[in-house]
C-alpha cells in the first residue's frame, strides 16, 4: 500500500512573466516521491568542481545552479546505492524545482532531512568543508602540506607494537564526546591524555577532529603533534572531500580514516591515491560484509578497521569483528597481508582476547580508556597487563 505523508509545497510563479507570487500549500504526497535513498559516487568530481581555477570556492549558493546540482547529486546517489551505500549526500540548498505547465514548485520534504545520525554528520560536514575550503583553497593548502612535519610510519608502529607485546597494537582515541555517549570526560586536556596513552603503551593515537558531534578539533591534533608525542596520529574525521586529506596532513596527521558507508569505491580509490602522494596512511572503516567485500576489491588497501558500532543505529556488538573475518574474507585478508583493526566497544581483557582470536592485529579504543582518571592505568586494565614500553626502549 502506498504510504502517504504531508508535504509543504511552495509554488513559485516566477516562470509567468511579470509575476512574483509565491504560495505554499500543504497536501499529501506519495512517500515514493520523498524516498530519495541514494547517494553520490563521484565526490572526487565535487572536490575539484567546487574550486575555481583561481582557487576560490564556488560552493556558495549564489554561483551554482542548485536544481542542476540536485540532479547531479541524485544521480551520484543512485550510483552509490548500487554499491549498497545508504548514506545520501546533502542536497545543495533545498529540494529541487518541479514543473507543471508554467508553474514551478518545490516539495519541501523531498529528501532534504537526514535519516540518521551518520547522514546528519555527513551533511553538516559538507557545509563545514565548503566553508573551510573557501577560506583555505587547495593551492594554499598544498604549500602548508609541504611545510608540515614529515609523516610517520603508522603501520610500522602497529607492527612493531604487535611484535613487542604479542597483543593487538593499541590505537588510543583522544575524544571528548561522541553522539552515542555524550561527554566522556569533562576535564579534557588532549595533550595530557595523549602523553598518558603513550606512557601506557599505545602504538598510535586517533584524534577526533570533528567539532560539532565529538567536541574535537584540528587544534587538538596540531597541539599533540607539536608537543612531541611520538605516536603516529590518525585524524579521525568524516572525510567527504579530498580537500580534507590535504588539511589533515597540513595539521600534522600521519593517517586518516575513510568510511566505506559514506564513500563510494571510486572515491576511496581516488582518495587512497592522494593519501599515498602526500604520505598519509589510510584506515578504511567497514561495518558489514558488503562494505568489507567492496574494500577487499580495491587494490592498495593496507589497513581495514571493522567497526563494531553501527554508525546509523549506535548498536555495538563486538561479534561483528569475528563475523567479518570468518571464512573466505579472512583468507583473502591474510593473502593480501592487510592489517585489521577491531574498533569500538572494547572494554575488558576478554574483549581484547576475543577480537585477537578473531584475527585482528590492532584495536582502536576510545571510551573505555579516555574515561579513566589515569588513562595510562586504563590501558593496563584494558589489556589485563602492563604493555608500556620499558623506559630503556622508550
Ligand X SMILES: O=C(O)c1ccccc1NCC(=O)[C@H](O)[C@H](O)COP(=O)(O)O
Please, which residue, 136 or 323, has the CB nearer to ligand X? 323
* Cβ count near 273 (within 10 Å): 13
Rank residues 50 and 178 by Cβ distance to ligand X and give the closer one. 178
CB of 331 to ligand X, least distance (A): 25
Q: Name the nearest CA neighbour of 355 among 372, 391, 387, 330.
A: 330
Contact 107, 29 (CB under 8 A): yes
Query: Rounded to the nearest whole angstrom, what is the least distance from the CB of residue 161 to ligand X in the complex?
Result: 18
Nearest to 302 by CA among 269, 333, 268: 333
Q: How far is the CB of 252 from ligand X (least distance, A)?
A: 20
As a residue count, the chain comes to: 394
Whose Cβ is closer to ligand X: residue 188's or residue 314's?
Answer: 314
Please report whether residue 209 would count as binding ligand X according to CB under 6 A.
no
Among 40, 76, 165, 178, binds ligand X (CB under 6 A): 178
**Exactly one of 55, 134, 179, 279 binds ligand X (CB under 6 A); which one?**
179
Per residue, the 3-state secondary structure of 313-369, as one string, reads CCCECCHHHHHHHCHHHHHHHHHCCCEEEEECCCCCHHHHHHHHHHCCCEEEECHHH
Of 72, 117, 144, 191, the one binding ligand X by CB under 6 A: 117
How many CB atoms lie under 10 A from the CB of residue 350? 10
Residue numbers 331-370 binding ligand X by CB under 6 A: 343-346, 364-368
Question: How, if at all, do strands 233-236 and 204-208 pair?
Answer: parallel
User: Nearest distance from residue 179's CB to ligand X, in Å?
Assistant: 4
As a whole number of angstroms, the distance between CA 324 and CA 293 comes to 9
Q: Is 173 in the site for ligand X (CB under 6 A)?
A: yes
Is 199 near ligand X (CB under 6 A)? no
Closest CB to ligand X among 95 and 200?
200
348 phi-psi bin (left φ>0, alpha ψ -120 to 50, beta other)? beta
> In angstroms, what is the minimal distance from the CB of 283 to ligand X?
10
User: How far is it, in rounded angstroms, from Cα 295 to Cα 297?
Assistant: 5
Is 307 an interacting residue with respect to ligand X (CB under 6 A)?
yes
Least distance (Å) between residue 261 CB and ligand X: 9
Q: Which stretch binds ligand X (CB under 6 A): 51-59, 162-170, 177-185, 262-270?
A: 177-185
Question: Which residues lie near ligand X (CB under 6 A)?
Answer: 117-118, 173, 175, 178-180, 307, 309, 311, 314, 343-346, 364-368
Amino acid at each position: 500500500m502506498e504510504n502517504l505523508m504531508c508535504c509543504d509545497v511552495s509554488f513559485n510563479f516566477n516562470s509567468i512573466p511579470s509575476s512574483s507570487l509565491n504560495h505554499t500549500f500543504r497536501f499529501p504526497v506519495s512517500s515514493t516521491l520523498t524516498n530519495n535513498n541514494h547517494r553520490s559516487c563521484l565526490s572526487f568530481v565535487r572536490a575539484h568542481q567546487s574550486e575555481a581555477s583561481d582557487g576560490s570556492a564556488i560552493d556558495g549558493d549564489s554561483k551554482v545552479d542548485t536544481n542542476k546540482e540536485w540532479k547531479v547529486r541524485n544521480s551520484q546517489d543512485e550510483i552509490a546505492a548500487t554499491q549498497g551505500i545508504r548514506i545520501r549526500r546533502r542536497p545543495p540548498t533545498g529540494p529541487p524545482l518541479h514543473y507543471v505547465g508554467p508553474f514551478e514548485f518545490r516539495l519541501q520534504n523531498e529528501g532534504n532531512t537526514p535519516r540518521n545520525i551518520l547522514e546528519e554528520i555527513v551533511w553538516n560536514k559538507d557545509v563545514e568543508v565548503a566553508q573551510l575550503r573557501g577560506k583555505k583553497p587547495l593551492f594554499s593548502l598544498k604549500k602548508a602540506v609541504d611545510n608540515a612535519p614529515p609523516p610517520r610510519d603508522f603501520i610500522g608502529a602497529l607492527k612493531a607494537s604487535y611484535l613487542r607485546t604479542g597483543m593487538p597494537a593499541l590505537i588510543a582515541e583522544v575524544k571528548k564526546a561522541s553522539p552515542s555517549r555524550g561527554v566522556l570526560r569533562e576535564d579534557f586536556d588532549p595533550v595530557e591524555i595523549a602523553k598518558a596513552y603513550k606512557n601506557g603503551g599505545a602504538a598510535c593515537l586517533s584524534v577526533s577532529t570533528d567539532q560539532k558531534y565529538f567536541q574535537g578539533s584540528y587544534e587538538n591534533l596540531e597541539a599533540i603533534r607539536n608537543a612531541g608525542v611520538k605516536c603516529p596520529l590518525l585524524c579521525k574525521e568524516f572525510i567527504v572531500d579530498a580537500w580534507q586529506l590535504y588539511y589533515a596532513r597540513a595539521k600534522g596527521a600521519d593517517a586518516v580514516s575513510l568510511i566505506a558507508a559514506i564513500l563510494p569505491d571510486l572515491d576511496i580509490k581516488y582518495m587512497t591515491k592522494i593519501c599515498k602522494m602526500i604520505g598519509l596512511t589510510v584506515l578504511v572503516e567497514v561495518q558489514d560484509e558488503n562494505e568489507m567485500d567492496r574494500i577487499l576489491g580495491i587494490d592498495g588497501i593496507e589497513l581495514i578497521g571493522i567497526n563494531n558500532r553501527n554508525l546509523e543505529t549506535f548498536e555495538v556488538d563486538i561479534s561483528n569483528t569475528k563475523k567479518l573475518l570468518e571464512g573466505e574474507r579472512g583468507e583473502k585478508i591474510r593473502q593480501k597481508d592487510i592489517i585489521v583493526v577491531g574498533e569500538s566497544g572494547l572494554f575488558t581483557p576478554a574483549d581484547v582476547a576475543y577480537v585477537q582470536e578473531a584475527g585482528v592485529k590492532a584495536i582502536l579504543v576510545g571510551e573505555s580508556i579516555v574515561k579513566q582518571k589515569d588513562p595510562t592505568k586504563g590501558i593496563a586494565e584494558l589489556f589485563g597487563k602492563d604493555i608500556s614500553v620499558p623506559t630503556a626502549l622508550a
